[in-house]
Structure 1
Amino acid sequence: MIKTILKKKHIDKLSKYGLDANHLKQCTIFRFAPGETIYQEDFPITWLGIVVDGKAKVCCSSANGKNLVLCYFVSTGTIGGIELMANQNYATASLIATTDFECIAIPFEGNEKILRDNNKFLNRLCYELSTNLVNSSSNFVTSALHTGEQRLCSYIIESSHNNVFNDVLTDVACSIGLSYRHLNRLLTQLCHENILAKENYGYRIKNMKLLIKNMKLLIKKAEDARCKLISS
């Protein structure tokens, strides 16, 4: 992680949340490299973040130690808002950068009252938390009703950066509810279809349009099959 000072674009970003950088204490910029942990589940959390650029994966460890993606990816909005509103001093989930990730870090200490007394900030935060809840519910339905291939295609689309998919495959398998062996079979199939290409650094998406089309086609087939089952 690299710390830097606020620039004009960060001050402008804060103003969209109704926050004045001059009134915040020790506000700074955090930059994370891909793979770095931003928040660690069950570890102390001391700051609220406003995303400036990049993408990160939200995940929670189950009792058996496997990682389950809760709402897939964060690329806008705030992080640490749940902990702030719930008065929790530990992270409820892990947040891991999947690309270069930059955020404005606002320490809870010395700023909590400023944040809680700011109606514009609270309204914006509540809207974002509600949106995340809706997205999480949608992802749960997707995991429950869609096939493994559908979930994999959706995951690749969400997690790829510059047409490169290079997540840790054991984590991907746990995240979308597949065995590691089945995941590899599906990835091999996508390579045979010239949708992906295996590279040393992971997988390169050769045809994003076809990947999206493939996902939509699979979803349509599943919906048709479900409707046929209901009608019978």
Structure 2
Amino acid sequence: MVFFPVSVIINSKTIIRLSEVIDLKRLPLRKEHAARLAEYGLQNIPLNACCCLRFSAGEEVLHEGQPISWLSIVVDGNAKVCRTAPNGKSLILCYNISRGLIGEVELMARQFNATCSVKAVTDFECIAVSYQNCLAELKTNLVFLNKLGTELAEKLTTSSDNFTSTALCTGEQRLCAYILQNSHRSLFRDTLTDVSCSVGMSYRHMFRLLGQLCEEGILEKRESGYCIMKKEELARRSHTAAELYQRV
């Protein structure tokens, strides 16, 4: 197994080396991993240049600003992509990563540090491919570059959809869609100040909408967050915004 001598932050508290992350999270490659590598034309890369990583809900897969030395291929689970502003507030750029690549923007832009953070929303599994050992293959493999180009185009479309949602959907629609996309086992526990930034409304207005949803029995406030009590009604109220977010 190849280890990379760089540091990352786990859960924004403990600074450890990426080699330790891979050592803690790594799992043996399975047949489905080989099939996923083949989808990207990477079936011939050395097996010791990649590994399977698994993260629990709430754990960081990448931390913005920290060195990145591997490309990830999503295998299973959902994650969200966040970007932090100079004032410390976070904006959700992508609500639901359930397939595709992580780190491809940094690869093509020759960025040595992660340009955003990726956090697991559910249990999350990916294949980590070492830049150090596979960079030449990643830069010249036409099958891989074709897939990468397609996924970058899809992300551009997603970005346009998110802008459209913010501009044209009501605050309630955006908030309900956000809660549906970021809840885990019917529990929503994101930081509310970050939520208000991501859905494009003031904290006071968002808190008022949450209160209304609780009064109507759609949500229930608990110590650990908000529990979804009426998922179908929440989905109905998120209708237009959710349709846009589902394209992610």
Normalized against structure 2, the TM-score is what? 0.82
Partner AA of 1:87 in structure 2: R
Match of 1:212 in 2: 235
Superposed CA deviations along residues 43-96 of structure 1, whole A, max 9, x for unmatched, are 211100001111111111122221111122211111001111111111111111
Match of 1:141 in 2: 164
- Number of aligned residue pairs: give it: 219
Match of 1:129 in 2: 152
Alpha-carbon distance change, 218 to 37 in structure 1, aligned in 2, over 3 angstroms: closer
Shift of 1:135: 0.5
Contact 1:25/1:110 (8 A) holds in 2: no
Alpha-carbon distance change, 154 to 217 in structure 1, aligned in 2, over 3 angstroms: closer
1:195 maps to which of 206, 214, 218: 218
Match of 1:117 in 2: 140
Contact 1:18/1:118 (8 A) holds in 2: yes
Q: Which secondary structure state, in structure 1, belongs to the residue aligned with residue 61 of structure 2?
A: strand
1:96 paired with 2:119, answer yes
Question: Root-mean-square deviation (CA), in Å?
Answer: 2.0
Normalized against structure 1, the TM-score is what? 0.87
Alpha-carbon distance change, 107 to 200 in structure 1, aligned in 2, over 3 angstroms: same
Q: Percent identity?
A: 49
Partner AA of 1:94 in structure 2: S
Partner AA of 1:38 in structure 2: V
Which segments of 5 or more consecutive residues in structure 1 lack a partner in the other structure?
220-232
1:175 maps to which of 198, 201, 212: 198
Match of 2:178 in 1: 155
Match of 1:70 in 2: 93
Shift of 1:112: 1.0
Runs of 4+ in 1 over 6 A off after TM superposition: none
1:82 maps to which of 90, 96, 105: 105
Shift of 1:25: 4.3
Match of 2:46 in 1: 23
Distance 1:124 1:158 in 2: 25
Which segments of 5 or more consecutive residues in structure 2 lack a partner in the other structure?
1-20, 243-248
Q: Which secondary structure state, in structure 1, belongs to the residue aligned with residue 26 of structure 2?
A: strand
Match of 1:60 in 2: 83
Q: Which secondary structure state, in structure 2, belongs to the residue aligned with residue 111 of structure 1?
A: helix
